Structure 1
Amino acid sequence: MDTPATIPQGKKHPKGLYLLFFTEMWERYSYYGMRAVLMLYLTATVISGGLGMDTQTAALIYGFYTGIVYFTPIIGGWLTDRFIGLRTAITIGGILMAIGDFSLFLFNTQAGLYVGMLFLIIGNGFFKPNISTHVGELYEPLDKRKDAAFTIFYMGINIGAFFSPLVAGFLAEDLFHTVDASGIEHFGFKWAFLASSIGMIIGQVIFNSLSKRYLGDIGTKPARKIASVDGGAPAKLTKADKKRTVAVLILACFVIFFWAGFEQAGTSLTLYTRDFIDRTIGSYEVPVSWFQSLNPVFIVILAPIISGLWLKLSRTKRGDINTTTKMSMGMVLLGIGFIILVPAVLFTGSNEADITQKANILFIVFTYLFHTLGELCLSPVGLSMISKVAPIKIASLLMGIWMAATGISNIIAGQLAALTESLGYLEIFSAIGIVTIIVGLILLTVSKKLQAMLDARD
């Protein structure tokens, strides 16, 4: 059977990459489908099929859920490294998340909500860091195809992210949406949750039925056993291991700034789009929620191009752009995306009551385009980096820590979005844009030092 050390470093990617691609696609379908209707479900009245919560309580629950799912991968990664293989962890996580979504479908109560969320949070802790680590295990540590592979893998995330809100919204607000004789609306939220559960089950059936064929023995043993020396005690971290780990932790601090800006998509950018962007095309007004599909659409279109670019550069004499430089480029591109909106805000103002003319739709489209380009330079490259440099015995743990940085960013992003009401969109958008560009340039100045730490070998 193939192992990470024996898979040939050829031009084509191993077929196992595409199996993991589809497994992740279905998991993201499940996650984003549930998340798409969560706030609507929490705030809708009980008689309408919701839980009847006030907006503030619903927002706190939503924020807690979307934040904590990025912290449990630390625990799931640690358990996987020490006690179970990647493949087992992915299966456990998938089953738990399917149960979580099914609980939301079955029990339309607050207790059912909390039980379902608990299963989803724990399941995500097992699934999320380990499937990304599994992609890295398909390649030798220094295989030049890794950045391209993770960019392809990233497409799976975004295909799921694109389709699931459309399906969930259709089920909840269209197909199962009715109005009774009293004029009360009834929504099919539970059917959206069921669709998410079914999507998770489909992904797991495909993964477990084909994993032996396309993945061989990769991911069947805990990293602790793989890292052991001659079957004895697990090898200790070397000096080079520690340098690479420290470099990862430093970069995790940098990416917090990126995601704090990027995650404005669901909050301040959505509100600005709703109130200040002219969304009419001809006689049709584009729904605000549809703008959330711009990012995954751009990902699917641009990911193959960016992937091909990294692969082409890796075969030139000059070689590929190093990881830290790519990440600094990503931060600068995100900042430019916010700066693009500054003329729009100057044109419209920040007070909805004083609007005389709304900004052109292209402002927000180009903002999302630059944010997507920045994401492609930073996020899949970061996942690839962890798989390249993380010591075997703590690979999944480091992947979990890397994802926890996004959890911190979500909390910061919410605080920043809350300030738009008191400070204004001009101040928030320009501040985020300027700060992320500056931080990106700082990262660029220290990129050689950090890259040397990442490349450290004993």
Structure 2
Amino acid sequence: MDTNRSATATANRDRATAPTGATTPSERKLLGHPRALAYLVSLEFWERFSYYGMQSILALYIYYSVTDGGLGLSEAVAIGVVGSYGASVYFATVAGAWLADRVVGAERLMFASGFTIMCGHIALALVPGVPGLALGLILIALGSGGLIANATGILGGLYREGDPMREAGFNLFYAGLTSGVALGPILTGFMQTTWGFHAGFGCAAVGMAIGLILYAFGRSSLPASVNIVPNACSSRTRTAVTISVVAVVAVVLFAFALGILTLDNISYWFTGAIGVTLVAYLITILRSDRITPVERDRVYSSLPQLFSNVVFYSLLMQVFGAIAVYADQNVNRWIGSWEMPVAWIIGLSSGVTLVVSLLATTLWTKMGDRQPSTPTKMGIGLPLIGCSFLMFIPFTNSDSTPLLYVFLLLLIMAFGEIIFAPTGISMSTKLAPAAYRTQMIAVYYLSIGLGTSLAGVFGQYYSNVTAYWAVLGGVAITAGIVQLCLGGWVRQRMHGVL
């Protein structure tokens, strides 16, 4: 379930990669790689451990009764909050990239972001009630945005362009973070079922603390280039941005105080805000006189793919919301006299996705130029995840969905994810106009954020469970068919981009 982060790695390889700061072969001490690679892999492992560990029990914490250690809110609110939180991470990623490029530098921001994440988990573990939930999620979202935006860019800066060890370094990095994705839900789920939710959140905090301590020992091994601010903004710009951020925070707090913004409708507000930002980005790019007619055509060709992105992630991110609720209420998790924690279903999903990704990599490598085009892959991935949603329907009124059946659902979902997701970030860079390369990557992440936020909006209607799975599955299948039908139009306007 960590394709987004592998996609982030691909997108950021070209950021902060100045050859003057890269590690030379004589400085390598770890299997031919820069010594700093080990510290970055460790940090990513523990960050993913804490992030996915916390998120695997988040929805349960919100809707479990107070006597069971939760907040006692409704399932719809739980799914909505989880979706809004996920969307806020992608919003924060755009801000994190801007801060690194314009204000503080990538490495300093990444380390500070890791500390912010740890503080967020501590708040969830120690501060009771809704205030602890709000404080914790805000800190984790802000920190995750800063870390996601910069970790893989720093990794790319360790290697010179054309270095034959570069791809192997990214593979090691990806293996480390996916291990954290799989292990986090297992340990936090065990802590939650044994000692309660706050112990689970505490486990995530300890994991992030371990990652920061280990990384701190290796910071000196990083090249000086990781702290360069490549496009520093003026003090006037920093002041204007600071005032704008303070104003936005004040408006949000005021809206909460007046009851305009509530936990019941926060997912709707997030969806609107991200949607407006996404459209504004696209209009700015398409109306610019800094792009050529061919570049404009390529941006237009990305529109169906961005729409498909929104639909796909609005289903995929249900794994932390509606699917978590389903696993809690409708799945027979008993194995003999032992009941599997709900969070382990999330871990199982991540493990299945990792295995499928290895198979897909082998397949695409063997097919070479014969593999399907990007629009075709996206058109195949959408119906697969749609079919997996339809397969929930036979057991919607039962509390005994077999674990093997759930495994089959997750397997089909994983195939859809691996066919669909990795192509998106690659295409966002290939189709981007030269003057708006970073903005097009931001557009891609905002489309994921919009889908994630919509997952929370859809959760408001989870009470009609059968219709829920049927409608979402049907929408995904239809969107896939539309994507396939538009394939010729899209390829024509891509002007040779594969």
TM-score w.r.t. the length of structure 2 is: 0.67
Closer, same or farther in 2 for the Cα pair 1:81/1:437, shift >3 Å? farther
What displacement does 1:89 show? 3.1
2:306 is matched with 252
State the 1:124 CA deviation.
Answer: 2.1
Whether 2:221 is the aligned partner of 1:201: answer no
1 CA distance for matches of 2:92 and 2:65? 31
Residue 131 of structure 2 is aligned to residue 89 of structure 1: no
2:185 corresponds to 1:165: yes
Counterpart residue number, 1:411 = 453
CA contact (8 A) 2:185 2:346 kept: no
Asked if the contact 2:193/2:341 (under 8 Å) is kept, the reply is: no
| Letter aligned with residue 308 of structure 1 | T
Counterpart CA distance in 2 for 1:167 and 1:290 is 9
CA distance in structure 2 between the aligned counterparts of 1:45 and 1:191, rounded to whole angstroms: 17
Deviates more, 1:106-115 or 1:402-411: 106-115
**Which one has a larger percent helix, Structure 1 or Structure 2?**
2
Q: Is the 8 A contact 2:56 2:189 kept in 1?
A: yes
Alpha-carbon distance, 1:40 to partner: 5.1
User: Aligned in 2, Cα 1:363/1:442: closer, same or farther, shift over 3 Å?
Assistant: same
Quick one: which amino acid aligns to residue 437 of structure 1? I
The whole-number CA distance in structure 2 between the counterparts of 1:137 and 1:394 is 22
Q: List runs of 5+ in structure 2 lacking aligned partners.
A: 1-15, 25-30, 233-288
Partner of residue 124 from structure 1, selected from 132, 137, 144: 144
2:383 counterpart residue number: 332
For residues 259 and 13 of structure 1, the distance between their equivalents in structure 2, rounded to whole angstroms, comes to 38
Q: Specify the alignment match of 1:232 in structure 2.
A: none
Quick one: distance in 2 between partners of 1:121 and 1:326? Answer: 31
Give the drift of 1:256: 1.0
Whole-angstrom distance in 1 between the partners of 2:329 and 2:134? 33
Deviations 1:316-347 (A, max 9, x none): xx3654444333332232123234445xx1xx
The DSSP-based 3-state class of the residue aligned with 2:463 is helix
Matches within 5 A, 1:28-43: 28-39=48-59, 41-42=61-62
- Is the counterpart of residue 367 in structure 1 residue 409 in structure 2? yes
Tell me how many residue pairs correspond in the alignment.
Answer: 416
Q: From the superposition, tell whether residues 453 and 300 of structure 1 become closer, same or farther in structure 2 (CA, over 3 Å).
A: same
Q: How does 1:312-391 map to 2 (within 5 A)?
A: 312-314=366-368, 318=369, 321-341=372-392, 345=394, 348=395, 350-352=396-398, 358-386=400-428
Which residues of structure 1 form unaligned runs of 5+? Answer: 178-186, 226-235
Paired with 1:438 and 1:149, the residues of 2 have a C-alpha distance of: 39
| Structure 2 residue 81 is matched with structure 1 residue 65 | no
The residue number in structure 1 matching 2:358 is 304
Helix, strand or coil for the counterpart of 1:421?
A: coil
Contact 2:81 2:456 in 1 (8 A): no
Amino acid at match of 1:258: F
Mapped to 1, the partners of 2:468 and 2:430 lie a distance apart of: 36
- 1:365: Cα distance to partner? 1.4
Distance change (3 Å), C-alpha of 1:362 and 1:196: closer
| Aligned counterparts of 1:288 and 1:298: Cα–Cα separation in 2 | 16
Offset at 1:257? 0.7
Partners of 1:326 and 1:164 lie apart in 2 by 30
Report the CA distance shift for 1:54/1:72 in structure 2 as closer, same or farther (over 3 A). Answer: same
1:269/1:107 CA distance change after superposition, 3 Å:
closer
- Residues 297/251 of structure 1: CA separation in 2 closer, same or farther (3 Å cut): same
With structure 1 as the length reference, what TM-score do the two structures score?
0.72
In the alignment, does 2:329 pair up with 1:263? Answer: no
Q: Shift of residue 106 of structure 1?
A: 4.6
1:39–1:365 Cα change, 3 Å: closer
Task: Return the offset for 1:68.
Answer: 2.1
1:254: how far off? 1.5
Asked if the contact 1:30–1:199 (Cα under 8 Å) also holds between the matched residues in 2, the reply is: yes
1:255, distance to aligned residue in structure 2 (A): 0.8
Task: Find the aligned partners of 1:82 and 1:277 in 2 and give their Cα distance.
Answer: 49
Please give the alpha-carbon distance, in whole angstroms, between the structure 2 residues aligned to 1:323 and 1:91.
35
CA distance in 2, matches of 1:135, 1:452: 35
Give the stretch that moved more between structures: 296-305 or 103-112.
Answer: 103-112
Q: Retained in 2: the 8 A contact 1:22–1:156?
A: yes
| Residues 1:441 and 2:481 are matched in the alignment | yes
User: Which whole-Å CA distance do the structure 1 matches of 2:383 and 2:131 have between them?
Assistant: 44
AA aligned opposite 1:82: R
Measured against aligned partners, the alpha-carbon deviations of 1:334-361 in whole angstroms (never above 9, x if no partner) come to: 123234445xx1xx5x445xx9xx5544
Deviations 1:233-282 (A, max 9, x none): xxx95436666555556533211111112223234434444555554556
For residues 353 and 130 of structure 2, the distance between their equivalents in structure 1, rounded to whole angstroms, comes to: 36
The structure-2 alpha-carbon separation of the partners of 1:105 and 1:415, relative to structure 1 and needing over 3 Å to count, comes to closer
Deviation at 1:208, TM superposition (A): 5.5
Q: Give the 3-state SS of the residue equivalent to 1:70 in structure 2.
A: helix
RMSD: 4.5
CA contact (8 A) 2:76 2:459 kept: no
Deviation per CA, 1:352-392: give whole Å up to 9, x if none.
5xx9xx55443321111011122122333334444556568
2:89 alignment partner AA: V
Question: Partners of 1:244 and 1:209 in 2: how far apart?
Answer: 45
Alignment of 1:113-262 (within 5 A): 113-133=133-153, 155-174=175-194, 177=195, 187=196, 189-207=197-215, 209-210=217-218, 213=221, 216=223, 219-222=226-229, 224=231, 238-239=291-292, 247-248=301-302, 250-262=304-316
Instruction: Check conservation: 1:279, 1:286, Cα contact below 8 A.
Output: yes
Q: Which residue is equivalent to 1:101? A: 121
CA distance in 2, matches of 1:133, 1:251: 25
Are the counterparts in 2 of residues 104 and 193 from structure 1 also a CA contact under 8 Å?
yes
| Equivalent pair of 1:162/1:296 in contact (CA under 8 Å) | yes
- Contact 2:55–2:320 (Cα < 8 Å) also in 1: no
Gap change, CA 1:252 and 1:222, over 3 Å in 2? farther
Aligned to 1:295: 349
Instruction: Say which SS state the counterpart of residue 90 (structure 2) adopts.
Output: coil
Aligned residue type for 2:357: A
Structure 1 residues 322, 7: closer, same or farther in 2, change over 3 A? farther
The answer to whether the Cα contact below 8 Å between 1:32 and 1:165 also exists between their aligned partners in 2 is: yes
Of the structure 1 ranges 446-455 and 320-329, higher mean CA displacement relative to structure 2 is found in: 446-455
Contact 1:277 1:361 (C-alpha < 8 Å) held by counterparts: yes
